[in-house]
Every structure is written in structure tokens, then in C-alpha cells.
Chains A and B, each alone.
Chain A
Amino acid sequence: MSSSHSYPHEPTGVETRKLGMWVFLSTEILFFGTLITTFMIFKGSDFPGMKLTDVYDIPFTSISSFILLMSSLTMVLAHNALEANDQEKTRVWLLATAMLGAVFLAGQIYEFTEFYHKGFELTTNIFSSSFYVLTGFHGLHVFIGVVLLLALWGIGQRQKGLTLEGGMNLEFVALYWHFVDIVWIVLFTVVYLI
């Protein structure tokens, strides 16, 4: 079972590192907000070259979205297991999250490759550039997340196990991973469905 903590000795009442993580995520919202705004400026305009709507593979992207969504479940289960001090389950769920993230990344690489074969390239038009920058930066965030997850898994294997205090904290990696998921929730709707 888990609990939230208050930190009366901290001026803000919140653990400083945790507050820092949330401030970082807040800046990330602005980062992706800017990229989404740029994408929306060009979406729907007529440009020379193939349009993204002509090359979409919605069933494929839907499966990728579902995989990333479920990786948030495995992540929160890893966090839950660590709070119960179940090291074995924590490692299993961490590895499952990393694998689901890797599958999503593989899907994105496949999708980009297909788009390129269909003529929708980075330099096809300004809309295609905004698409690749937006989804590419999200993919980069997923990649960083997978590396962090595997690092945590490795630390858990090598040492006596993970803890929620000090060092590379599972809670912060979990926050980052869920953030990557919520960004994709927005991107899936804005970029692919609308």
C-alpha cells in the first residue's frame, strides 16, 4: 500500500527534488505546446507534395497508442510494487514498461519509414517538417524514458534493490514516463484523428 508524504521541513512543504521534477514537466508542457501550436498552424493548409492524411495508417497507430497507454499501467504497477517493497515485481514491471516503450518506438520508426516510401519526407513541405519535428521529439522522449527504465532495472539487479528514497528515483522516472504518455494522448488526437 502506498502513501503520499508531506515535508514540513521544506519551505514549500514538498520534497524539493519532486517539486523540481514537476517544474521540469511544466516546462515540457510549454515545449510540446509550442510544437503542437506550430503543427496546427500548418495543418489543413494546402502545400505542394503529398498530404499526411493520404499516408496515415490509423489501425497501426491505434495499436501503438494502446501499447504506450498500457505501458503507463505497467509503470504504475512497478511503482506500486516498490512501495510494497516487492523488488521482484518491481523489476518485472519496469522491464515490461521498457519493452512496451521499445515496441512503440519500433512502431514509430516503421511508420516513418513507410511515410518516406510514400513520399512524405521531412523536406516535402513545411507541414511534413512540423509533423516530423513534433512526433520525432516525442519519440526522443520515449527513447530517453526507455533508457532511464533500463538503467533503473539494471540498478535494481546489481544492488540490493531499489528504494523510493535517494539516488535515481523510480517515482521521478514514473512521472516522466506518464508525462510522455499524456503527450501522446494529445498527439494521437490532434495529429492523427482530427
Chain B
Amino acid sequence: MSDNHIEHPTPKKYVQIAIVLGILTAIEIALYYTEDIVGVFTDPLLIFLAVGKFIIVVGWFMHLRYENKTINRFFVGGMILALILFTIVMVERASANYF
């Protein structure tokens, strides 16, 4: 039944990952309140932090980094399709406002 054994993180490692997630969330909140200082970099930094948290949860808590390629393809495929949809709608919206 099980051929390829890949070790998952230990409970201690999971707690360390959760602490990192908590710190990233604290930085996000700090960025929100310091928008006047950080300026135009606020939104890109917030997106960067959210993507980081997303990858950490999917990779370590959902174990995607230890999973079969087929599973990875399905999940990443869904992400790509959603991003294509988002991009098309936003571009269409922007062009509609422009003209």
C-alpha cells in the first residue's frame, strides 16, 4: 500500500510554522496602520505576505509539497484558471473605464 515514505514535519515544526504565520499576520496589520509611511509599497507588500502565508499553509499544513505531481497539477491548475479569470475581468474592466 505505501511504498514511498516521506517524513512530514514534527509537531514542534508545525508550531514553529504557526509562529511564522502569526508573525506574518502581525506584519500585515502593522503595514495597514503604517500606510502613510510605507506609501505605494503597502499593497504590493500585503499581497506578497498573503501569498507567502498561502504557500506556507498549502505546502506544509496541507502537505502539498510532499504530494504526488498529479495532485499538484490539479491544485495549481485551479489557481491558474482563477488568476486568468481575474486578469481577464480586471483588464476588461480597466479598458471599459478607459474608453
Contacts and interface: CB of A to CB of B under 8 A. Distances in A.
Contacts of B31: 193
A189 B47 contact: yes
B1 A7 contact: yes
Chain B, interface size category, equals 35 or more
Interface residues of A, number: 54
B14 A76 contact: yes
A80 to B, nearest CB: 6
Nearest to A62: B29
A95 interface: no
Contact of B78 (A25, A77, A185): A25
B63 A4 contact: yes
A83 B7 CA distance: 12
Interface SS majority for chain A:
helix
B40 interface: no
Contact of A62 (B4, B25, B62, B75): B25
Nearest to A3: B5
9 contacts: A6-B68, A14-B70, A32-B82, A73-B18, A83-B8, A174-B62, A179-B62, A188-B50, A193-B32
